[in-house]
Amino acid sequence: MADKYDYDVLYIGAGHGTFDGAIPLAQKGYKIAVVEADKVGGTCPNWGCNAKIALDIPVQLTETQKRLQNIINGDTSINWKENMLNKHKVIDGLPDAISGLIESLNIKLIHGFAKLSDNHTVTVGDNSYSADKIVIATGLRPHRLDVEGKELAHDSKDFLNLDEMPKHVTVIGAGYIAMEFATIANAAGAQVTVLMHGDKALRQFNQEYVDMVMKDLEDKGVRFIKNADIKGFVQKDDCVTAVQLADEDVRTDYILDATGRIPNVENIGLDDLGIQYDKKGIKVNNHLATNVDNIYASGDVADTGQPKLTPTAIFESKYLTSLFSGETKDAIDFPAIPSVVFTTPRIAEVGVSMDEAKNSDEYTVEETDMTKDWYRAITKEQIAKRAYVFDKEHHLVGATEVSDQADSVIDSILPAVALKLDQKQIGRLVHLFPSIGSDAWQSI
């Protein structure tokens, strides 16, 4: 433990790539410092997962209520102002809560922008701090289109703080953020146009299920323009801004640039120290070590080839805890990491994808139309399809679902995929009934 240095481990950034590992390391008695330039907690709580889901859950409830209109009486519209106020109530206290937890464990929290000066030292303003090991966990930031009038566009952080929902919202991109925020804006009463780079949305998900979600959004009034060639944004008198395409102007009040996220690798001393990185992030080996001794990377900024999601950041920061405390010397062994798009209905998946399975004789795919299921019929789900992928020994190795309950279903069956449970082990699992869990495990 530190005697030569101020700290055993110093983390740059205070998101999930840091605090899920720094906390248990401090609990083991290590001397820890965390430097944060913005809000403690990073993207996920403040302007990512938690903030988004706080706005989205009322959207999903409203959609269910609309389908049950003759059973549940009352107004089924979103009050955006109240929705936003509720988000602030739930979210705004999180940085203090996380700071409190960190500081209660004697972790030194340093506010400011950190820069590496050598492989044991970080500077923040005029101060220097030394550490045996340094973890770079600086995350990603929104990519912004470099077109004429780009300052008229907004990013996901701006959208998550909108006090009023604009009348017309134009979303650029068709990835996670574009599809989730188009869903929210549409449900909150905005007229939504989505400008797609190519002709596919959510490329990493099963396209048949993505088409079902897009068709549903179209039925609700969302306009998708494929292969949109964006020339720029201009201020007009009769609308706030217009997006210029090759063959038309899209009149709009708000432009959300959701064209991806890029790693925070600039101005932190990587070039001076010769730390390798590219547009996917900082290069790390299978111990999350960079090419420079004592410096590691964790979370979104690390290029591990894994999905850049909160569960990945948590897994990586916890792995570094085990590595630094000597509990393991092994390489990081990523389990199957699930993912979900919080559209309504959601698309969630884990493990071997349907596409991969259909192109291999190693697997069989069993697909079920869940709208026929009595339990789903209660809430009148109109889009609910599930595919389970099995290997030759009938272990469940992958699952994809499109439905309102897709996230809960995939989370529930996760142990079967991650631990490759056999039929005897599965037989020992007794589920609550009726429940999404029992429904999901029944056909494994």
Ligand X SMILES: Cc1cc2nc3c(=O)[nH]c(=O)nc-3n(C[C@H](O)[C@H](O)[C@H](O)COP(=O)(O)OP(=O)(O)OC[C@H]3O[C@@H](n4cnc5c(N)ncnc54)[C@H](O)[C@@H]3O)c2cc1C
Ligand Y SMILES: NC(=O)c1ccc[n+]([C@@H]2O[C@H](COP(=O)([O-])OP(=O)(O)OC[C@H]3O[C@@H](n4cnc5c(N)ncnc54)[C@H](O)[C@@H]3O)[C@@H](O)[C@H]2O)c1
Considering beta carbons, is residue 166 or 175 the nearer one to ligand X? 175
Q: Does 159 bind ligand Y (CB under 6 A)?
A: no
Q: Quick one: which of 135, 406, 177, 130 has its CA closest to 292?
A: 135
**Rounded to the nearest whole angstrom, what is the least distance from the CB of residue 417 to ligand Y in the complex?**
18
Residues 295-324, interacting with ligand X (CB under 6 A): 299-300, 308-311, 313
By rule CB under 6 A, what count of residues binds ligand X?
Answer: 35
Distance of CA 279 to the CA centre of its chain: 18
Q: Does 269 bind ligand X (CB under 6 A)?
A: no
**Using CB under 6 A as the criterion, what x/- string covers residues 206-245 for binding ligand X?**
----------------------------------------
**Rounded to the nearest whole angstrom, what is the least distance from the CB of residue 116 to ligand X in the complex?**
9
Q: Is 395 exposed, middle or buried (0-12, 13-18, 19+ CB in 10 A)?
A: middle
Residues 402-431, interacting with ligand X (CB under 6 A): none
Q: Pick what 341 binds: ligand Y, ligand X, none; C-beta below 5 to 8 Å, kind-dependent.
A: ligand Y
**Using CB under 6 A as the criterion, what x/- string covers residues 390-429 for binding ligand Y?**
----------------------------------------
Residues 275-314, interacting with ligand Y (CB under 6 A): 307-309
Q: Does 138 bind ligand X (CB under 6 A)?
A: yes
Considering beta carbons, is residue 18 or 186 the nearer one to ligand X? 18
Considering beta carbons, is residue 174 or 265 the nearer one to ligand Y? 174
**Number of neighbouring beta carbons within 10 Å of residue 118:** 16
State the number of CA atoms in the 13 A half-sphere of 329 facing the CB: 0
Q: Does 158 bind ligand X (CB under 6 A)?
A: no
Q: Pick what 288 binds: ligand X, ligand Y, none; C-beta below 5 to 8 Å, kind-dependent.
A: none
- Taking the CA atoms of residue 297, residue 303, residue 305 and residue 307 in that order, the dihedral angle to the nearest 10 degrees is 80
Please say whether the beta carbons of 136 and 298 come within 8 A: yes
* CA separation for the pair 267, 393 (Å, rounded): 51
Q: Does 49 bind ligand X (CB under 6 A)?
A: yes
When computed from its CA atoms, the radius of gyration of the chain, rounded to whole angstroms, is 23
Q: Does 110 bind ligand Y (CB under 6 A)?
A: no
Q: Does 173 bind ligand Y (CB under 6 A)?
A: yes
Task: End-to-end CA distance of the chain: give it in Å, rounded.
Answer: 48
**Rounded to the nearest whole angstrom, what is the least distance from the CB of residue 439 to ligand Y in the complex?**
23
AA identity, residue 117: S
Choosing from 59, 182, 250, 258, the residue that interacts with ligand Y (CB under 6 A) is 258
**Using CB under 6 A as the criterion, what x/- string covers residues 83-122 for binding ligand X?**
------------------------------xx--------
Helix then strand then coil, in percent of the chain rounded to 5, is: 35, 25, 40
Q: Does 178 bind ligand Y (CB under 6 A)?
A: yes
Considering beta carbons, is residue 98 or 255 the nearer one to ligand Y? 255
Residues 132-151, interacting with ligand Y (CB under 6 A): 145
Q: Quick one: which of 73, 54, 1 has its CA closest to 30?
A: 1
Q: How, if at all, do strands 121-124 and 127-136 pair?
A: antiparallel
* CA separation for the pair 22, 395 (Å, rounded): 36
Chain residue at closest Cβ approach to ligand Y: 175
The reply to whether omega before 95 is within 30° of 0 (cis) is no
Residues 6+ apart with CB under 8 A from 37: 111, 112, 113, 114
**Rounded to the nearest whole angstrom, what is the least distance from the CB of residue 251 to ligand X in the complex?**
26
Residue with tokens 């989730």: 180
3-state secondary structure of 417: helix
Strand partners, 429: none
Q: Is 266 exposed, middle or buried (0-12, 13-18, 19+ CB in 10 A)?
A: exposed
Structure-token pair, residue 177: 């953020």
Q: Does 318 bind ligand Y (CB under 6 A)?
A: no
Q: Quick one: which of 78, 30, 298 has its CA closest to 190?
A: 78
**Rounded to the nearest whole angstrom, what is the least distance from the CB of residue 52 to ligand X in the complex?**
5
3-state secondary structure of 427: helix
Please say whether the beta carbons of 441 and 409 come within 8 A: no
The DSSP letter of residue 107 is P
Q: Pick what 172 binds: ligand X, ligand Y, none; C-beta below 5 to 8 Å, kind-dependent.
A: ligand Y
Residue with tokens 């030394």: 130
Q: Does 388 bind ligand Y (CB under 6 A)?
A: no
**Using CB under 6 A as the criterion, what x/- string covers residues 3-42 for binding ligand X?**
---------xxxxxxx----------------xxxx---x
Choosing from 31, 52, 318, 386, the residue that interacts with ligand X (CB under 6 A) is 52
Contact positions vs ligand X (CB under 6 A) = 12-18, 35-38, 42-44, 48-49, 52, 113-114, 137-140, 156, 177, 264, 268, 299-300, 308-311, 313, 342
Contact positions vs ligand Y (CB under 6 A) = 145, 172-178, 180, 197, 258-261, 307-309, 339-342
